[in-house]
Amino acid sequence: QVRLQESGPGVVRPSETLSLTCTVSGGSVSGYYWSWLRQSPWRGLEWIGYIYYTGYTNYNPSLKSRVAISEDTSKNQFSLKLSSVTAADTAIYYCATGELLHDTWGPGIMVTVSS
Amino acid sequence: DIQMTQSPSTLSASVGDRVTITCRASQSISDWLAWYQQKPGQAPKLLIYKASGLESGVPSRFSGSGSGTEFTLTITSLQPDDFATYYCQQYSSYSTFGQGTKVEIK
């Protein structure tokens, strides 16, 4: 059974880049789709984007200019970078399986954008 | 963007009640609709996919129906573990979620 765990800083300064990593256990990042989502009281649940093990990515058009998702098969991890953050990017960030349908989620990590 | 609207926002019910939650899409999404359950402090859990497909391990008291723009999630006999917030999600064009329906104890 695949398990996911998000990691990264809990606080990011405005205008900087948010960087998170998802570690996959019980399975391999190769051969599957992997997604990032976030949840906040003001935006609800929001899909950020996904990566396929080939390196193909697809992003939410509303975030596309600021998002990059990558993977490291040697570490069995995939990562999220969100640039030029503002207070509106404060949220719980989740990594999950699947491109658009998600049957396994990490527990989530709270990220606050604050100086 | 495809907008998803759930109703009601909050639902008060008792154990054993039959509960129905509605989700409407701003345009047709065929049957590319999922339902998730979320409890406080936890990640969402997939219940239903492709409008009516029951995810493995999910109790049969949960069912989904609909196609096009109107969908429902039904819980036939509400159990104590079912008090939670439920979200619909369209995955026809990218992905968007409804605002959630909180099922609370009456």
C-beta atoms of A101 and B91 within 8 A: yes
pLDDT of residue B98: 98
Count other C-beta atoms under 10 Å from residue B15's C-beta: 12
Closest residue, chain B, to A101 (C-alpha)? B91
Residues of chain A positioned with their CB less than 8 A from the CB of B97: 44-47
Closest residue, chain A, to B3 (C-alpha)? A46
Closest residue, chain A, to B87 (C-alpha)? A45
Q: Under a CB-based contact definition with an 8 Å cutoff, are residues A91 and A40 in contact?
A: yes
Percent of chain A with pLDDT over 90: 97
| pLDDT tens string B59-103 | 999 999 999 999 999 999 999 999 999 999 999 999 999 999 999
- Among the partner-chain residues B94, B95, B97, the one whose CB lies closest to the CB of A44 is B97
Tell me how far apart the alpha carbons of residues A7 and A21 are, in angstroms, rounded to a whole number: 5
| pLDDT tens string B21-46 | 999 999 999 999 999 999 999 999 99
> If you average pLDDT over residues A66-83, what whole number do you get?
96
Across A1-115, where does the E strand assignment appear?
Answer: 3-7, 11-12, 18-25, 33-40, 44-52, 57-59, 67-72, 77-82, 91-97, 109-113
| pLDDT tens string A16-36 | 999 999 999 999 999 899 999
Query: pLDDT band for position B17 (50/70/90)?
Result: very high
Q: Under a CB-based contact definition with an 8 Å cutoff, are residues B98 and B6 in contact?
A: yes
